[in-house]
Chains A and B, each alone.
Chain A
């Protein structure tokens, strides 16, 4: 047991492994959060177009594009997408690995968030839209002022789920692009073939991150539910 700890200590402190871990932690958080933000932006646009596509012929064309997009990004593994972006699409461009990971995870999560947002928009009673329209507000105005706020409130728990899934998915980012938590601990573990402590420690770090996220999501959800009687 002591040997394991000594080996870990040696790699983590003396050999400077903690620097990688801190960098990895930072990158993991950046990729997950920036990825989700990009995903929410893309997903909201795609979902809006798909909902509008039911009544508008122009939007229907874009909705078809959105379908292809969600189909591709939900239909292939994230690691394959990373490889394709790294070795094919960005191969000629000198792009920062972190940025590359953010783009891929953003696009990937956009496909999932699109479906989440679509469900959220459809969960808002059609009467809300009708009431806005009869007051003389335009379709986009009614969407922005009335439907989206309610839709977002409805999808916060699911978006939280997406954030958690995305955070864990970032563990593959280290294979191609950049330093992340998993890669940092893998380097420590493989330096002297002592796997037990680094990998258990890695799991613990992910667990703590996700518990913190869960807590934040609950908090946000409670704040947004202010206007409802259900508690």
Chain B
């Protein structure tokens, strides 16, 4: 009995402990025998803009992809708003809707036009929820047939229709497209767009889900040099609006300007971290000094 109380108490404690937006505990990732992430523990608070820098093969991207469990961690845990994403009982799809992700290769859906790319997920999720409520209501109605008059269960309110969900998603998408100045491209297919346009649309696609945190995986590495500016500009705007973000990047100038904290990774570990002024201005670690001397 006492043990049970203790267990409950420690569970409550454990939940209280994960108050940061994202918390990573003893995260280890192996690809076969190759150790990519080596026992990383880290917290990311709301409103932080974290830049992750480091040489290639240091595990930056893998670390980022573990944050929304696109890569399954070999061991350790990732908490997002208190929920352990590595727990198989947790519905990962629900949490991923709150974590936007932007890829190096854009990954716009090639079989859909720009507007459909943006509205696909919001519409699908909205319609799915609507159907679920309707199904539950139907079940309640059927059960009500067998209940006495005073014991009838109440129906859940159905507030929208499929058409309304679609129109709202479209409106929202057009608003976002106007914001990045690509409203005229709503009906075209991604293959006709430039890299910079594609990446900005990919960012907007993630924003359409109203995420609480944005993960950027080298968002400018696959772009022509002249396209880099427009994408960084958009990311910077988001940062100024207070979006929590984690950015893996090779753009040191950008990291210095936008980030509130810089993590330097090497060999699967976070070797040094701190405010950008400190990491770039007064690096302590030899590996970091060496890295900076090569890239700056």
**Complex contact B205–A135 (CB within 8 A):** yes
| A131 on the B face (CB < 8 A) | yes
Determine if A134 and B111 form an interchain contact, defined as CB atoms under 8 angstroms apart.
Answer: no
Q: Note all chain A residues with C-beta closer than 8 A to B191.
A: 227-229
- A229 to B192, Cβ gap below 8 A? yes
Hey, which chain A residues are within 8 Å of B99, CB to CB?
134
A146 surroundings in chain B (CB, below 8 A)? 109, 111-112
| Residues A129-175 near B (CB distance < 8 A) | 130-138, 141, 145-146, 149-150, 153
User: Which residue of B is nearest A149, CB measured?
Assistant: B111
State whether A131 touches B189 (Cβ < 8 A). no
Assess whether B103 is in contact with A131, with CB atoms less than 8 Å apart: yes
Query: B110 near A131 (CB under 8 angstroms)?
Result: no
Which A residues lie within 8 Å of B120 (CB)? 135, 137, 145
Decide if A125 touches B107 in the complex (CB within 8 Å). Answer: yes
Hey, which chain B residues are within 8 Å of A145, CB to CB?
Answer: 120, 124
Residues 150-206 of B at the A interface (beta carbon under 8 Å): 189, 191-192, 202, 205-206
What's the minimum C-beta distance from B17 to chain A, rounded to whole angstroms? Answer: 26
Chain B interface residue bracket vs A: 20 to 34
Chain B proximity mask over A217-231: 1 for CB below 8 Å, otherwise 0: 000000000111100
- A136 adjacent to B94 (CB under 8 Å): yes
CB contacts (< 8 Å) of A134 on chain B: these are 68, 70, 96, 99-101, 206
Task: Tell me how far the C-beta of A9 lies from the nearest C-beta in chain B, rounded to whole angstroms.
Answer: 54
Does B70 contact A150, Cβ atoms closer than 8 Å? Answer: no
State whether the Cβ of A92 lies closer than 8 Å to any Cβ in chain B.
no
Q: What is the bound-complex CA distance between A228 and B94, given in angstroms?
A: 32
Say yes or no: is B269 at the interface (Cβ < 8 Å to chain A): no
Residues of B within 8 A of A136 (CB): 93-97, 121, 125, 209
Does A75 lie at the interface of the complex (its beta carbon under 8 Å from any beta carbon of B)? no
Counting CB contacts under 8 A, is B105 at the interface? yes
Residues 8-66 (chain A) with a chain B CB within 8 angstroms:
none
Instruction: Tell whether, in the assembled complex, residue B107 and residue A137 are in contact, meaning their CB atoms are under 8 Å apart.
Output: no
Kindly list chain A residues whose C-beta atoms are within 8 Å of the C-beta of B209.
135-136
Question: Would you give the 0/1 interface string for B198-223, flagging 1 where the beta carbon is closer than 8 Å to chain A?
Answer: 00001001100100000000000000
For A126, the closest partner residue in chain B by CB is B107
* B97/A135 in contact, CB under 8 A: yes
Whether B259 sits at the interface, judged by CB under 8 Å, is: no
Asked if B110 and A150 sit within 8 Å, CB to CB, the answer is yes
Q: Is the CB of A227 within 8 A of B96?
A: no
Q: Does A128 contact B (CB under 8 A)?
A: yes
- Are the C-beta atoms of B121 and A135 separated by less than 8 Å? yes
Q: Compute how far the CA of A141 lies from the CA of B120 in the bound complex, rounded to whole angstroms.
A: 11
Taking the nearest CB of chain B, how far is it from the CB of A56, in angstroms?
Answer: 12
Residue of B nearest to A138 (CB): B93
Residues of A within 8 A of B70 (CB): 130, 133-134
B82-126 toward A: CB 8 Å interface, digit per residue (1/0)?
Answer: 000000000001111101110101011111110000001100110
Q: Is A77 an interface residue (CB 8 A)?
A: no
Contacts of A229 in B (CB 8 A): 191-192
- Cβ contact within 8 Å between A228 and B189: yes
Chain A: which residue is nearest B99 at the CB level? A134
Q: Give the interface of B toward A (CB within 8 A).
A: 68, 70, 93-97, 99-101, 103, 105, 107-113, 120-121, 124-125, 189, 191-192, 202, 205-206, 209
A-B contact pairs, 26 of them (CB 8 A): A128-B109, A128-B110, A130-B70, A130-B107, A131-B103, A131-B109, A131-B202, A132-B121, A133-B70, A133-B96, A134-B68, A134-B96, A135-B120, A136-B94, A136-B125, A136-B209, A137-B93, A145-B120, A145-B124, A146-B111, A226-B189, A227-B111, A228-B110, A228-B189, A228-B191, A229-B192
Query: Known pairs A127-B107, A130-B103. 19 more at Cβ < 8 A?
Result: A125-B105, A131-B101, A133-B70, A133-B93, A134-B101, A135-B97, A135-B205, A136-B94, A136-B95, A137-B124, A145-B124, A146-B109, A150-B110, A226-B189, A227-B112, A227-B191, A228-B189, A228-B191, A229-B192
